[in-house]
Structure 1
């Protein structure tokens, strides 16, 4: 715990940025916090074999608090489409649990490259004007409507993110208004973070060699620090989301992803 105290500033900073972006863009913030957590964990001597697993699990735990705050803020502005989540939640949850157990079988290096690949794709999406592209005027019906939510849950759990980076563009491609997609993504992210967090908790419970302060793969002190900072900023991001266009911020966020990904990969 005393080692974490010496790294409070980067953890708090990551939490503040993650919380703001969670409210603003409907993302869980893990794509911001994971590179920071990896750097902090390396400095405090976390076992390299499980480094990325711990960062992902701890990020998901913090996202629970972040998305709860974001959902409440968007709900007050009528920005959450509960009907979408009602039809998706069980498939998203199942995908997230499967993703968490799949990730346990990967090495830290493999997880880093998996994260980097998907983060790069998200960065491209954020920096280019894809919001005008449409695949339909309404979300798919029938059995095929479950494919995308299941994949969103699975890949989000492997990456340790809340899923908004995937669910927001997916919903907007099917003509869900951007502000409503952002609010709804916060609720989807809450389902993902709870489900995947439980998966990482169970998956890491009997792993030998983990330090104190752990619950499975979750490092409780750092997860708590990030969560508190993020909760403070999520309502601010949600308020701003309903006041401004997101083009400039999306480009800036995409650039951040590129820089964070390069830093993460170069540290292997």
Structure 2
């Protein structure tokens, strides 16, 4: 065993955990856009079967989002910034979308899932670079039908990517006149609604597959979670605190550039 290589992999996971926890608190996102590419790279170095890599990265990311989103939600609720009415209306539609998205992700070939991740990361990266959009679709959120459709789409796309839906929900809410601070706070709750049901298809879908690494439950890596969870949790509160004190524009630009880099990385890998 090459202990230097093992140390490098653990360091990568640790850095990804700290950053994903911070982003979970700061932007209300689950941090999956960070942990998925990090996990994918680690699984590639470990020579895990190509057919399983992306599913394991996405499934493990969703499992990580559960504790980070819950912690982020509690921090934001303490400040009274969460739209609990919207979360209650989405208590069925977002989880349903997440289950459907997770089921689709487990059925897709790994290379197709990589392409979808790259495409959505590209769009979200551009969205983050643009910042607050110079127009709105309305002065308040749409009615029940519009909210239902939005919840299904946010849940499905997020589960396919292994993210908490923060960027998608932030865009949705701010396009309809809600403040960024309320959107960020509410997105932490959306992450919980996505991750809890969304991880189930990955647990079930990978069960009994050949080529899985040790300490896996289906397409979820318990070994990776043992490193990611304890290291990501302390930075969530820091991110949530800064979210209410600082402008997020510089971080949005940095995160947008990161997403574009990730997208290009996956696109090059597909060539």
Task: Please classify the TM superposition score into its range, dividing by the shorter chain length.
Answer: over 0.9
| Map of 1:76 onto structure 2 | 78
Gaps of 5+ in 2: none
How far the C-alpha of 1:5 sits from its partner, in A, is 5.2
The alignment status of 1:127 with 2:129, answered yes or no, reads yes
Question: SS at 1:187's partner residue?
Answer: helix
User: Deviation string for 1:212-231 (max 9, x for gaps)?
Assistant: 20101101111231222211
| Map of 1:44 onto structure 2 | 46
- Give the paired residue count: 268
Q: Which of 181, 206, 209 is the matching residue for 1:207?
A: 209
How far the C-alpha of 1:267 sits from its partner, in A, is 3.1
| Map of 1:159 onto structure 2 | 161
Q: Which of 144, 147, 156 is the matching residue for 2:146?
A: 144
| Map of 1:234 onto structure 2 | 236
Residue range with higher mean Cα deviation, 139-148 or 189-198: 139-148
Gaps of 5+ in 1: none
User: Deviation string for 1:170-205 (max 9, x for gaps)?
Assistant: 011111111011010001011101111112111112
Indicate conservation of the 8 Å contact 1:63/1:227, yes or no: no
Q: Which of 60, 63, 72 is the matching residue for 2:62?
A: 60
> Alpha carbon RMSD of aligned pairs, Å?
1.7
Instruction: Name the TM-score, length of structure 1 as normaliser.
Output: 0.95
Indicate conservation of the 8 Å contact 2:121/2:262, yes or no: no
The alignment status of 1:23 with 2:25, answered yes or no, reads yes
| Map of 2:194 onto structure 1 | 192
Question: In 2, Cα distance between the equivalents of 1:20 and 1:144?
Answer: 31
Indicate conservation of the 8 Å contact 1:62/1:224, yes or no: no
| Map of 1:99 onto structure 2 | 101
Structure 1 residues 2 and 168: alpha-carbon distance in aligned structure 2, compared to 1, 3 A threshold: farther
Structure 1 residues 52 and 147: alpha-carbon distance in aligned structure 2, compared to 1, 3 A threshold: same
| Map of 1:246 onto structure 2 | 248
Indicate conservation of the 8 Å contact 1:27/1:186, yes or no: yes
Indicate conservation of the 8 Å contact 2:166/2:191, yes or no: yes
Question: In 2, Cα distance between the equivalents of 1:69 and 1:264?
Answer: 30
How far the C-alpha of 1:129 sits from its partner, in A, is 3.6
| Map of 1:260 onto structure 2 | 262
Question: SS at 1:78's partner residue?
Answer: coil
